Amino acid sequence: MTKVDATVAGDESGKPSPPIGAGTLFDRLRRRICGLELDLSPGHVSAHARESDPSGIVSDVHDGEVAFAFRMLRSGWYRIVAELEPDVPACPRIYVAQAGAFSRYQSAALSRVGRSNRYEGRFLARLPFDSLRFDPASGIAEPRCTSIRVCRLRLHRRFFGLVLSALRHAHWRAAPFLALWTDYARLKRSKDFIDLGRFWPQPGAIGDYDAWIGQFDYVDEQDRSRLARRLAALPSRPLISIVMPVCDTPPKLLDEAIRSVLDQVNPDWELCIANDGSRSPHVRPQLDRWAARDRRIKVVHRSVNGHICHATNSAFALATGEWVAMLDHDDVLAPNALAEVALALAAHPDAALVYSDEDKIDDAGRRFDPHFKPDHSPELLRSMNYFNHLTVCRADLVRAVGGWRPGFEGSQDYDLVLRIVERAAPRQILHVPKVLYHWRAVSGSTALAGSEKGYAYGNGLRALEEHLARTAPDARALDIPGLPFYRVRHAIRQPEPPVSLIVPTRDRVDLLRVAVGSILERTTYRTFEIIVMDNNSQQEETFAYFEEIALHDNVRVIPHPHPFNYSAINNAAVRHARGEIIGLINNDVEVITPEWLAEMVSWAQLDRVGCVGAKLYFPDDTIQHAGVILGIGGVAGHSHKHLPRGENGYFSRARVLQNLSAVTGACLLVRRSVYDEVGGLDEVQFKVAFNDVDFCLRVGAAGYDNVWTPFAELYHHESPSRGADDTPEKKARFDGEIAAMKERWPAQLAADPYYSPNLTTHAEDFGIRK
């Protein structure tokens, strides 16, 4: 660490303040009432400190993170403002600790203020602290911090600011405001640290979804006119039959659902309604009035209640359209829904199924909780029915698979789409990345909470089991504890395919010992060898350890006396490998789950699968890697970086199997045949960075699916043995690798099919695009 000076720059009013710990009783009382401000900016602190100065601050910079230690500050409310270099994506956090014992649970997120390069956050520290760590938490290219200021909030700002911001966060409605305030009071009683961002959002973060709607969504008559003109230009438009089973729907919600169909920009629809023996006296006459009003509305009244599957089949029996859309009796279609579907079908006439993004709508009509989905991901679909709403299927396929099967109530649509995708090629599954469906969040609805309608989960599991029996008899469908979703597990073929785990290293035996030792001691899958590639180690301790591990029959140490080139080292190791499956493993990982290798082998062995990635954590049990998202930071970033272990992430994507464009080479498995087919890692263009991303993209281009599994868990200390790119030569090399990625993969970096154009590329947290 380097000792530096820092002074208190002033309180929130901008008045100068004395150094920390200095001043008269009056000075200390004034700062207690008015707050203080600590300027930690690089330009404000000097490079030469006086060791005796009580205001001295110790700073340390590592991998873009900046840590500060200073005289103990008392507990209280604090605001932090950081400025980063412009146009570099970031998702910064501030960590608070005593004696540098940092933890994710003592940290607060900073939100970007509008479109500026300024980020703000607030936190309540219930205990004194003497250490801060600022982490930009961006993509692969770390931004430089130009200014960091920390101030204690004055008394009036604490109360009035929190109340006002909570009201804005609750959209000025009493019920959500009281719920938010109650939640805050509960947290304040139970914790010694609170990230106030949830209760005190920054101006740039308030109403992010509302802002997105205003900027990117269908909003007005001009949008309607433009869409109508595009529809009119199509040579033909298919008739879309909307099937809607109805049972005792409240009159207001039923009217809103039907009215949303009549309000469609695309007029080529028919609404097929089955009244499933409703007992409420208003339902039958209400439906008959709508049918009399518009001849496109067809109604059948069932004499007895047959539940959702029988009712949906009755509605489908009325359908004459080429395509079938599903609408729940209390939900709402966006006005542009059927028009966007028609445009997508015109562009892809061989499509079999179309699905869109969706959000939720409350009793007051407020839209919230948007689900911005990826394109077709077979493994994600086997984990959950993420197609959900709006889904539109070819009518002949619905008939061919037998419609909605009784016995799968609650998951009848999931059962249907699983049977349809079995008959369709992946290119025939279309995703329209627009919010075309508003899912009603009312008590008893699965829109409100995944735990509602528990019977649906069991029926969904059974639908998946039958799907696997038809398509992958070696696989089992399992539940995921704490989630209403599923896990597919494939049996490993016999005899077990041998695996060659390649571990490049240069000294740092402290790391290597943990990596190799944890693999040898904790791994349940035993058909593997370890190839340690020694890239110019110098220390005697390292060579002694090489001799120690070489005593194992399944460990080899191979020298690679050449300049560091990660791609070349691994390619050389593959030529020595005896395994059918290759594992690229960093020398700074540590096994957590003993079944990690068995889990990854179970996927890597499949003919359709290319690369398989694992779930990696920082030592503080926050996520380091949950897959790679293209486009973040200009090239790529890691999904859900810094999310605490055990948390679900964006629509539970941090805890379920899924397909992704790429996974990190810190722990990657791939069949040797696939590795050779695409020519291994690129030793020329990507000697150090992005070689894993480039490799995965070439594997995907060759027709294989890349898979990420959260059920193989390891720690990752992230390349400490190589060092940072801090010399002109290294920076020039890194810039060249960025340019090579952008030149080779421009379309993929612009639109990752397993992400969403509606989500940010300026952070790794699945935030909404701004």
Task: Write down the pLDDT at residue 245.
Answer: 97
Average pLDDT of the segment spanning 525-541: 96
pLDDT band (50, 70, 90) for residue 741: very high
What is this structure's pTM?
0.80
Phi and psi dihedrals of 257, rounded to 5?
Answer: -65, -50
Closest CA to 572 of 531, 539, 613: 531
Residue 419 has pLDDT above 50, yes or no: yes
Q: Rounded to an integer, what distance in angstroms lies between the CA atom of residue 558 and that of residue 288?
A: 80
Q: Rounded to an integer, what distance in angstroms lies between the CA atom of residue 497 and that of residue 578?
A: 11
Q: Rounded to an integer, what distance in angstroms lies between the CA atom of residue 439 and that of residue 47?
A: 57
Q: Rounded to an integer, what distance in angstroms lies between the CA atom of residue 390 and that of residue 325?
A: 7
Average pLDDT of the segment spanning 488-516: 96
Handedness of CA 588, 593, 595, 601 (dihedral sign): negative
Who wins on pLDDT, 198 or 712?
712
Who wins on pLDDT, 327 or 39?
327
What is the biggest distance separating any 2 CA atoms in the chain, rounded to whole angstroms? 90
Task: Write down the pLDDT at residue 52.
Answer: 31
pLDDT band (50, 70, 90) for residue 194: low
> How far are the Cα atoms of 564, 589, 617, 723 from residue 720, in angstroms, in the given order?
14, 11, 15, 6
Lowest mean pLDDT among 7-11, 518-522, 676-680: 7-11
Q: Which of 140-154, 217-231, 247-261 has the highest mean pLDDT?
A: 247-261
Task: Write down the pLDDT at residue 183.
Answer: 54
Average pLDDT of the segment spanning 639-664: 94
In this structure, are residues 100 and 82 in contact, taking their beta carbons and an 8 Å threshold?
A: no
Lowest mean pLDDT among 172-181, 505-514, 552-561: 172-181
Residues 6+ apart with CB under 8 A from 166: 177, 180, 181, 184, 199, 200
Average pLDDT of the chain is 83
Q: Rounded to an integer, what distance in angstroms lies between the CA atom of residue 42 and that of residue 47?
A: 9
Closest CA to 666 of 498, 499, 497, 504: 504
Counting residues of the chain whose pLDDT is more than 90, the rounded percentage is: 63
Residue 554 has pLDDT above 90, yes or no: yes
Who wins on pLDDT, 108 or 620?
620
Phi and psi dihedrals of 667, rounded to 5?
Answer: -160, 95
Task: Write down the pLDDT at residue 292.
Answer: 96
Q: What is the pLDDT of residues 382-417, one digit of tens each?
A: 999 999 999 999 999 999 999 999 999 999 999 999
Give me the residues paired with residue 37 across strands. 151
Q: What is the pLDDT of residues 290-307, one digit of tens each?
A: 999 999 999 999 999 999
In this structure, are residues 337 and 264 in contact, taking their beta carbons and an 8 Å threshold?
A: yes
- For residue 263, what is the DSSP state? T
Handedness of CA 456, 457, 458, 463 (dihedral sign): positive
Average pLDDT of the segment spanning 611-640: 94
Q: Cis peptide before 753, with omega less than 30 degrees from 0?
A: no
Give me the residues paired with residue 476 across strands. 489
Lowest mean pLDDT among 50-64, 211-225, 701-715: 50-64
Q: Rounded to an integer, what distance in angstroms lies between the CA atom of residue 467 and that of residue 538?
A: 55
Closest CA to 435 of 265, 598, 746, 217: 217
Task: Write down the pLDDT at residue 32.
Answer: 41
What is the crossing angle of helices 540-549 and 509-522, to 10°? 10
Residue 674 host element (H or E): helix 672-677
- Tokens for 11? 């309180």
Average pLDDT of the segment spanning 269-279: 96
Residues 6+ apart with CB under 8 A from 361: 331, 332, 367, 368, 438, 439, 440, 441
Q: What is the dihedral of CA 570, 576, 578, 582, to 10 degrees?
A: 10
pLDDT band (50, 70, 90) for residue 124: confident
pLDDT band (50, 70, 90) for residue 110: confident
Q: For strand 269-276 and strand 240-246, is the pairing parallel, antiparallel, or unpaired? A: parallel
Task: Write down the pLDDT at residue 364.
Answer: 79
Task: Write down the pLDDT at residue 186.
Answer: 54
> How far are the Cα atoms of 108, 254, 452, 502, 523 from residue 515, in angstroms, in the given order?
31, 60, 43, 11, 11
CA atoms within 13 A on the CB side of 601: 25
In this structure, are residues 614 and 674 in contact, taking their beta carbons and an 8 Å threshold?
A: no
Q: Rounded to an integer, what distance in angstroms lies between the CA atom of residue 475 and that of residue 465?
A: 9
Residue 565 has pLDDT above 50, yes or no: yes
Phi and psi dihedrals of 677, rounded to 5?
Answer: -60, -40
In this structure, are residues 617 and 667 in contact, taking their beta carbons and an 8 Å threshold?
A: no
Q: What is the pLDDT of residues 64-89, one digit of tens each?
A: 455 555 556 677 777 788 877 655 55
Give the other-Cβ count within 10 Å of 712's Cβ: 25
Give the other-Cβ count within 10 Å of 640's Cβ: 25
Average pLDDT of the segment spanning 740-761: 95
Q: For strand 589-591 and strand 609-617, is the pairing parallel, antiparallel, or unpaired? A: unpaired
Burial class (CB in 10 A: 0-12, 13-18, 19+), 500: buried
Average pLDDT of the segment spanning 335-364: 95
